[in-house]
Amino acid sequence: MLTTAIFPGRYVQGEGALAALGEEVARFGSRAFAVMDPFAMDTLRPRIEAGLGEAIALTAERFGGECSDEEIARLAEAASAADVIVGIGGGKALDTAKAVAHGLRRPVAIVPTIASTDAPCSALSVIYTPEGAFKRYLVLPHNPAVVLVDTGVIARAPVRFLVAGMGDALSTWFEAEDCRVKRGANMTGRLGPMTAYALARLCYDTLLQYGVLAKAACAQQVVTPALEHVVEANTLLSGLGFESGGLAAAHAIHNGLTVLDETHDYWHGEKVAIGTLALLMLADRPPALIDEVFGFCERVGLPTTLAAIGLGGVDDAALMRVAERACAEGETIWNTPHEVSPRRVVAALRAVDAEGTRRAKATPRAAE
């Protein structure tokens, strides 16, 4: 039996890490092409240029907003002369940079400005339509050569991004555990090693221990050990855990939720959190564990009802569209070690909504 784990070439994290960008990028060449989201382009470009130094010639292009085939083709044409691609910004900008680098056969350095997803470390780009609906996974032959995370930048981003990242990371252990039990494949197409499952569990434990403290630090725009721990969980541990441990129902249900336009204003991790709660219902997890996860979501401000992701009053026909997309052939929901069907997914989503609503009425959330 073969097991396989995959990792980024280097992971650099800490306050002020942008100053080391030139040192990291120079190992791959002197001509860098940067895909920068609007925040990075408008706010961080002077610091990026200073971090790269005079030895690196930088060309930068503003990211158009969706990691679509059309956007990847546009940027690849502009980047054809570069030695190395640098992605700077949020998850979709980073996935686009990875796809551009893949098409051009160049190394890629990834610089997340928010800790909202586990996209930075992975050999994966999630491709959407130009309108924002999930289209497919693009599995890449290599992980990023460098992932550089400046926690000083992360701390100054809106708190909602960090919380959404916790929602994405929250799924990691549950999905990896389902893959371990079902002997489902990870993103390499093989089983994961025990290292991957242990890292996935560490991701979950870190969130529960430090999530509330990290959110408080981010609200004050300061870097603390708790914030460092959660940024690492959101970015590195979740990235390694999902990629080498495997995905299951939570991300498949997220992909299903994207077919409803009402969810497009909500972040990836917010929808994954609903998918994780649905996974717990679908996979018949112990009630004490379900209570623990609902409680964590409530404490950090993750959604626990359908209304919290724009689906208040949603009818069963719309939820069936979600469920049918989640249960599409080849989707990761089939790594669930329990009976799966669109009808059961709808039931799980309704159960999540009912429990989240009941808890909210019993103990109203404190104002954010």
* Catalytic residue (one of 150, 168, 178, 353): 168
* Residue 338 known to be catalytic: no
* Residue 37 known to be catalytic: no
* Residue 102 known to be catalytic: no
Q: Which residues 6+ apart lie within 8 Å of 265 measured at CB? A: 310
What is the DSSP-derived secondary structure letter of residue 356? H
57 vs 20, 22, 96, 293, CA distance in Å?
16, 10, 21, 47
The CA distance from 91 to 113, in Å, is 9
- The answer to whether residues 74 and 25 touch, using CB atoms and an 8 Å cutoff, is no
* Catalytic residue (one of 102, 150, 178, 254): 254
The CA distance from 47 to 215, in Å, is 25
Provide the CA 201 distance to its chain's centre, in angstroms.
17
What is the DSSP-derived secondary structure letter of residue 233? I
* Catalytic residue (one of 118, 178, 268, 353): 268
Q: What backbone torsions phi and psi does residue 23 show, to the nearest 5 degrees?
A: -60, -40
Q: Which two tokens stand for residue 81?
A: 């002369």
- The answer to whether residues 209 and 273 touch, using CB atoms and an 8 Å cutoff, is no
* Residue 254 known to be catalytic: yes
Q: Which residues 6+ apart lie within 8 Å of 204 measured at CB? A: 169, 170, 172, 173, 174
* Catalytic residue (one of 95, 229, 251, 353): 251
Determine the residue type at 65.
G
Provide the CA 290 distance to its chain's centre, in angstroms.
22
Active site residues: 168, 251, 254, 268
